[in-house]
Every structure is written in structure tokens, then in C-alpha cells.
Structure 1
């Protein structure tokens, strides 16, 4: 299925060389920005030449790009692969002495035939001419990548975060994890969306192409030696609705039980939308969990105090023996399946998946 980033967006109502198979419905996106977003720039601009400001223009371009990305996501959610007749307007909303800008993008979501993909140009196409702005952009990109690798840019300021987000600089992803490792490991169980690093990192990841960010995050969870960082990345999967059944199955099959636990948790997360194929994948996930997440401890018996009778107990993999049946280990606080009391158990996850399948079936023919 096409990714949101690959959806074609046209300002015209006609699609030259492309055949529209089906008109779906109008789609829209709205971006609201406070006037301080612009006044902060205007208060201390040093790059105004000929009545123009590069900083101001870049901020406007960022808002327009964000509106287009959101309308792509809206079209993607209803199965479209193209948006035609795109129109973007900016209005000022005022009240009680305050004002804000609202950017509205409107278009029609359609499905086009993709028999002739050569009609669609990509960013990898060679150009006959290239502008100086694109050259400078590429120079800055390479400079940021190189400095990040060498730890010359251990922490990013707002300008760098904005650049790698707008330009989808996926090459710096593993180095961000390394440079910010201490900060990430210090985060508690909850995911604080107001934390400055979380906000910047989420925006950066969300700007990447769908397949790219899924590959980066899941592969990093598999190879990450710090369990706290791996768990943190799994929370990003939840926030961005990046459930991928194939990638998550690799985690469920991992030889490291901690990775398997992360895979179990991810199995309860969501995709932006579901299809018939996803029902099959959900059933496969459910079947795998039911079959493979069995007791990790062993059963045995021991004699009761002051009695010749024996009672059944279980021996924990941590080495603590003679635990009461149904109780948690007195040493590691795990149950016989290897889970702590606060953790979601495989049986609970299976029930959750079953409920999700039922809900999806109510909508899908």
C-alpha cells in the first residue's frame, strides 16, 4: 500500500497523463500558529534584504509543508493515492486582544491508476539545472551529518532540529540515540510529550518516509543494548501509530526475552487504519503468542511442614525454588511466565487482539 509521503498532490483538477479511477471525498487539514511565531522572527531579523527575510520565508514554507503533509495523511486514511485541486488559504483569527494564523488546505482525494509510474518524478531524478539554495541546503545537510557522527553536535538547537525535520535527514537517527542516550535513559515510564527532546524527536521521526522510520525504529529496538532506550523507542511506535506486523514478529521471535516483552506490548498498539490483510496478521500474532509464551519456570513438589503429604510448587528460572502456585517469585517478583505483576500478560494481550479483530470485522466487509 502507498505511504502517506508518496501521495501525489496537485493544485489542478486534471491529472495530465494519469487516469482517475475513483473520486473519494474532499479532504482538509488545518494548521493554527500563534502570531508570536512570526513576531519572534520580526523582532530581531538580521537577514532582511530588499524587503525580504529568509527566516520568515522558511517559517511560512514550513507551515505550508506541514499542511500538505497532514492532507496527505487524511487522504491516506481513506485509501486515496492522490489529492487534486489543492488550495491553501491563510486567515487571521482574533479575539480578546489576541490573534492567531490559521492555514487551511483543501483538496479532493482520488484514486489514480499507476500504470505509468514514469510520469511521477522523484527527488532522486537528475536535474538539468540546480539552484544555489539547493546546493547550500545539501552542504548544510552533509555538514550536520558529519558533525553529528563526530559528536561535534552532541545536542541540537532549534535551528538544527528544524533543518533535519524539514529535510528528512534520516542519516543522523542512530547518532541522535547515542548522543542523547543518558537523557533518554533518565525518562520515567510515562512519555512526556511536553519534554523538549521528545517533541523535537517525535516531529523529526514523523517527517520521515513511512517505510524509513519504521525500519529505523524497529531495527534499533532489535539491536539496542540498553533496554530503557529500546522501551523508549517502542513508546514512539505507540505515539506515531507505527505498528508493523512483520517487524514486530521479529521482536516476538527474538532470543532475548526483554525484546520479546517489548514485542508483546507493541502487539497492542495501532496502525493508522486496518484492512482485511491486517485481520490475518492479527490472527497470526495471536496464534504465535498463544503457542510460544508458555511457562518459563518448572513445576515440582515439596513436603509440607510437619506432614508427609507433598504439595505442588514451581521453581523460578532465577534460581529461587518452591514458590507457591499462582504466586510471584519471592526473589525476582516474576510469575512462572516471567512477567511482573504490573506487566500485561500474554493471555491479556491475546484477549485484547481478539477484541480488536472483532471491532475491525464490524466495519470491514
Structure 2
């Protein structure tokens, strides 16, 4: 099964038509949330009607959904395609005048016989015989947010971030980047603003379906003209362990050297788990980097001062000539391969990948 989102999760130990081939092991997910997560509910109680609070219910639903997604991911990591006997409990942890909620989900990961005919995954285009008012209101709010984002009128407050994250509103991805490009560029001079945005953006991306968030990040890097934004998206890939061989090879083969450099950086990032195919892909990545990233400067010679002897020097592609071999260009600060001192070099990347392959081989049969 290629996608954790497709893993079946049930609360019973069996179901009609469910054929279990193998029981793997118990899987669990734990989420700890501060009570400030429910600050709107606790502070005002403005949406309480008939003894219920819609905001409190939405926050609880968000926590439950996150727990289920995590347990799906953990099951996928060990090769399962179904979770049986799911149970979810919530407890309050308190001490020194502070309290937190801990939500625990536990079940048993199993492998079931796949049935290609029975794919009951729902999607946004699914039609129903009846539809609840909550679904209608949710769609209305979604469309309103997308329209306001397009018109640059959207206020990205806590409520907006919560909605676009819990409802996977991927349509505003490009508008988000445009709105916060200055924040990304000013991460050193505006660390507080950057940290708030980064936290919200990471959660937003992580809420999307696996294939969608991977495509959004890599495809945007390919076309993004703002180098700082492109580099930031590569950091998101690292944070969420979203290394993708095919997508990254596309970056490595890009005609723009800046895109290639992002690709070589991503080559050191991790996936959530590895298998034999990944070892093959890593080897191919290593070979490609070794054969592609050659010297970009021209090695030549020049006469030494007060001597008839000549010594090797290199001319940088920026136009600066006669740089010492092994030194960085005095004009652009790049080495002969086009990399700055703070950047990992191709030979270092190759060694890193070789080490990763060795580590993976210790576990893979």
C-alpha cells in the first residue's frame, strides 16, 4: 500500500469480508496538547448552545483525527494496511498549577487481503443523498477563505490557520507563499514573526495528503523564482521527512544550477521509512551526483611573481581569474564547483549517502 491515508482503521477486531493475512504488532499514537488549545472555549463560551460548544467539539475532533492519522502512518511504516481494535482515550495531566491533555490511540496493525473493488475512500466530489448543515457551512467558509486569499483580503489569524489546516485547504498554498514571502526572507531580522508562520505552515502542510504535499513542495521549488522561498520549502521537506527520489531527481536534472543545488541539499534528507527500492534509488542518486557535479571553473596556469615557473590556478565562472587551487573565489565566494563555504559539497553529499545506505542495509533483509 503506497499511501498511509488509504489504511483501513476499525474499532472491532474483525469485520464482514475482512480477511486478515497476518497480525503484526500493537501500534499507538500519543498527542499532548496544552489547555490553551481550548482557550477560545474556556475564555468566552460564546458559542455554547444547549450545553454544547462547537469550537470545543472542533478542537476535539481535530485531535482525534490527528491521532488516527499518526496511527495510520505508524502502521504503514511497519508494512501494515489495516488497524483493528482501535481505541482512543483522553486524560488530563496536571502539576504545578498547569494542566495538559494527553490523547492516546492504540490498535493492532495487521495485513489484510486487498480488495481492489472496495475502495471506499471519500473525496470532496462525493455525492450524498442527504447533507448536514455543518457540511454546508464548512464548504461555505472554505470557498470564502479561498476567495479572500485570491483577493489578498484574508487575515491569517489563529482561526484561519486552524480551519485551513483541519480542512486541508490546499487551494491557498500559492497565496500563502506570496503573503508570507517577506517573512521568509526576513527570518533573521524578524525571528518571532517567522517562527509563528513556520509553526503554522508546517502544521498546514503536514495535514495534507502525502502525495499532495509532496507534489506541492517539489513542484513549487521547480518554478519558484524567489530563491529564499525555494530554500524554505526545502527545509519543510526536511522537517516532514518528505524525501522523494523521482521529484528530487527532477531538481538535480534542472538546467538552473540554483535548483540543482537545492536538489543536492535535499539528497541528504530522510524519508519516514526505507525499503530495498530506496537503497537502489540512493545508489542511483549517489552515482548521478558524482558524475554530474564537476568543476565549473577552468583550471589554468600563471607565472609566479619574480619567477619563470608556473603554477596552477583556476578561473571562476563569475569572471574572476587566477584563484588559488583549493581556495574560494574572491569575488563570488564560490569554490571551483560553484559551492560556497557554508554549503555541503558534492563529495560530502556522496559520502553521506553512502553512510546512509550502510545504515539501512543493517536492517533491510
TM-score range, shorter chain: over 0.9
How far is 1:116 from its partner? 3.4
Q: Which residue of 2 aligns with 1:136?
A: 137
Distance 1:194 1:226, change over 3 A: closer
| 1:175 to 2:171 alignment | no
Q: Which residue of 2 aligns with 1:126?
A: 127
Distance 1:2 1:101, change over 3 A: same
| 1:109 to 2:109 alignment | yes
Q: What is the SS of the residue equivalent to 2:118? A: helix
Q: Which residue of 1 aligns with 2:202?
A: 202
Q: Which residue of 2 aligns with 1:54?
A: 54
Give distance in 2, aligned partners of 1:219 and 1:15. 40
Distance 1:145 1:121, change over 3 A: same
| 1:19 to 2:45 alignment | no
Give distance in 1, aligned partners of 2:145 and 2:270. 33
Q: CA contact under 8 A between 2:7 and 2:83: conserved in structure 1?
A: yes
Aligned residues: 364
Distance 1:152 1:198, change over 3 A: same
Q: CA contact under 8 A between 2:6 and 2:121: conserved in structure 1?
A: no
Q: Which residue of 1 aligns with 2:241?
A: 241
Q: CA contact under 8 A between 2:186 and 2:194: conserved in structure 1?
A: no
How far is 1:135 from its partner? 1.0
Distance 1:205 1:193, change over 3 A: farther
TM-score, length basis structure 1: 0.95
Distance 1:173 1:122, change over 3 A: same
Q: Which residue of 2 aligns with 1:41?
A: 41
Q: Which residue of 1 aligns with 2:81?
A: 81
Q: What is the SS of the residue equivalent to 1:344? A: coil
How far is 1:192 from its partner? 8.5
> CA offsets per residue over residues 153-188 of structure 1, 9 Å max, x none?
1x4111111111111111110110011111111124
TM-score, length basis structure 2: 0.95
Give distance in 1, aligned partners of 2:40 and 2:167. 23
How far is 1:193 from its partner? 11
Q: Which residue of 2 aligns with 1:145?
A: 146
Give the alignment's Cα RMSD to 1 decimal.
1.9
Gapped regions of structure 2 (runs ≥ 5) = none
Give distance in 2, aligned partners of 1:226 and 1:342. 20
Q: Which residue of 2 aligns with 1:355?
A: 355
